Amino acid sequence: MKKKTQQDIIDLYKKRFMEESITVETLPPSGSYREYIRLTSPHFKAIGTWNEDEKENTAFIEFSKHFRSKGIKVPEIYDYKPSECIYLQEDLGNKTLYSFLSEVREFEGFSDRIIGIYRKVVCELPKIQIVAGTDLNYDFCYPRKAFDRQSMMWDLNYFKYYFLKLAKISFNEQLLEDDFTTFTDYLLKAESNFFMFRDFQSRNVMLVEGEPWFIDYQGGRQGALQYDLASLLYDSKADIPQNVREGLMEDYLDELGKIHPVDRNEFRQYFYGYVLIRMMQAMGAYGFRGFYEKKEHFLKSIPFALDNLDIVLQRVDLPVELPELIKVLKSLSDSQTLKKVASKQAELTIAITSFSYKKGYPTDLSGNGGGFVFDCRSVRNPGKYDQYKSLTGKDEAVIRFFEEDSDMEDFLKPVFSIIERSVEKYMERGFTHLSVSFGCTGGQHRSVYSSERMGAHLRNKYPVRVVINHREQDN
């Protein structure tokens, strides 16, 4: 973010909250061209956003206002300065559904805790699609008011040019175009006068005190109900087990039936068609960001997408013939180019654990052994003071204590250096797992804060998967 733009956001924050921001943190880039900073002051916090696409900004802001009026959990928009393409929105924290899934799955597998959160999400989805979508002003939609033929063809050609061609997949272009036309004709027969979130996936669901909140719906438009459910359940790197997907679809249909009549058989018939078009759109994005823009972390999703595609192709039974499209999709798992991409993308997982020495060292569940354990007990302990006893190292008051009134920085600086060296060597040598643990007396303040700081530092600096488990707090 340019210095002037950042200063404009800081000035807007001061004007809105009448306080100087104490900390300004640049947040990691996502799949869009928007840029974010987190601002905090003694009594407030917010996310400052810059996006030069004014129409997209307007869509996000107007949708946010409408959704909040309907009781949908989305961030409040505090202020907007159209001339500078900046706005302030509510800070929902750092925990996405994807990060929660990654952290819990590392230690519990795809457990009931994860399924319980997904159930909450799928039960909220009909409210977004129907309750909030009924009287929405679709004139704010950008770039299209509906997921119509034009939108579908954009996605299919995105897949063709940025995935198939860049991955060197052979196909008959005319026959594939003919199938695209047949496919869109079929999909457009589904009922489609609902709000379609468009990118309803695990990174766009925030968890606040265990409840799902929703972000990044600025690309929303009118469309079929099946698309958003397909986006969530076949989210590549979430890698949801197939039996769980099927159970969550039933939960969704139960909730949908309470507010809108639904023919379950008809819904399922169209569902896998929408799964396919969503997967092709996603693969187009992986190809554009990965092959074309050379952002390698997008390529890491391709093996998961291909695994999902194999599952779907075994289940899809469309009432239309798509010979060239199906042939191309089935050929992807045999592509030597894609196999090479998959083999290069072994991802380093860094498991970070906070714990209490009173309850023993954490158990290594990776099967690799080794790793690092750091003793935080030399750092001044906020747990000795009454005002902090009920808090943890994730609470703002404790964070300020460590930042302003302790020697925590002196402790963490060499720790960061040691871990950085190991991470770089592990990535260079293709290792897939590193464990880092922080212990203190109660596993509540110093170790929790250190783990969170380490996790944020590594996520910002390296293309790695970070999972954090606060053993004494999360279990």
Q: Could you give the CA distance from residue 273 to residue 185 in angstroms, rounded to a whole number?
A: 11
Strand order in the sheet with 349-356: 372-375, 433-440, 349-356, 465-470
Q: Which helix (H) or strand (E) holds 242?
A: helix 242-259
Beta-strand relationship, 194-196 and 45-50: unpaired
**Whether the Cβ atoms of residue 34 and residue 50 lie closer than 8 Å to each other:** yes
Backbone angles phi, psi at 10, to 5 degrees: -60, -40
**Whether the Cβ atoms of residue 434 and residue 351 lie closer than 8 Å to each other:** yes
Structure tokens at 376: 């935080």
Residues in the chain: 475
Would you call the peptide bond into 143 cis, given omega within 30 degrees of 0 as the criterion?
yes
Domains of the chain: residue spans and CATH: 3-89 (3.30.200.20), 97-344 (3.90.1200.10), 349-474 (no CATH)
Structure tokens at 206: 């925030």
**Whether the Cβ atoms of residue 46 and residue 69 lie closer than 8 Å to each other:** no
In order of 51, 122, 298, 459, 460, the CA distances from 30 in angstroms are: 13, 24, 10, 12, 11
Helix residue ranges per DSSP H, 287-367: 296-299, 302-315, 323-331, 336-344
In order of 55, 58, 90, 92, the CA distances from 62 in angstroms are: 11, 6, 15, 19
Sign of the C-alpha dihedral computed for residues 356, 357, 360 and 365 taken in this order: positive
Q: What do you get for the CA distance between the two ends of the chain, in Å?
A: 39
Predicted TM-score (pTM) of this structure: 0.78
Q: Which residue has the tokens 């719906």?
A: 217
**Whether the Cβ atoms of residue 328 and residue 171 lie closer than 8 Å to each other:** yes
Residues 6+ apart with CB under 8 A from 211: 73, 120
Instruction: Reduce the DSSP state of residue 19 to 3 states and report it.
Output: coil
Nearest-CA neighbor of 289 among 148, 38, 463, 59? 463
pLDDT at 343: 56
3-class DSSP string for 71-82 = CCCCCCEEEEEH
- Collect contacts of 3-11 with beta carbons under 8 A, ≥24 apart: 5/35, 5/50, 5/84, 5/86, 6/37, 6/48, 8/81, 8/84, 8/86, 9/37, 9/39, 9/48, 9/49, 9/50, 9/86, 9/88, 10/39, 10/48
pLDDT at 386: 93
Beta-strand relationship, 211-214 and 205-208: antiparallel
352: number of CA atoms within 13 Å, CB side? 25
Helix axis angle, 242-259 to 264-286, nearest 10°: 120
Q: What is the pLDDT along the chain (475 residues), one digit of tens a residue?
A: 888 999 999 999 999 999 999 889 888 777 678 999 999 999 999 999 999 999 999 999 999 999 999 999 999 999 999 999 999 999 999 889 998 898 888 777 889 999 999 999 999 999 999 999 989 999 999 999 999 999 999 999 999 999 999 999 999 999 999 999 999 999 999 999 999 999 999 999 999 999 999 999 999 999 999 999 999 999 988 989 999 999 999 999 999 999 999 999 999 999 999 999 999 999 999 999 989 988 877 887 888 899 899 999 998 899 999 999 999 999 998 888 887 775 555 578 899 999 999 999 987 766 666 789 999 999 999 999 999 999 999 998 999 899 887 799 999 999 999 999 999 998 888 788 899 999 999 999 999 999 999 998 898 788 888 889 999 987 6
Q: Could you give the CA distance from residue 344 to residue 342 in angstroms, rounded to a whole number?
A: 5
Return left, alpha or beta for 71; rule: phi > 0 is left, psi -120 to 50 is alpha, else beta: left
Helix axis angle, 112-126 to 225-233, nearest 10°: 160
Structure tokens at 46: 């917010």
Backbone angles phi, psi at 347, to 5 degrees: -95, 135
Q: Could you give the CA distance from residue 151 to residue 148 in angstroms, rounded to a whole number?
A: 5
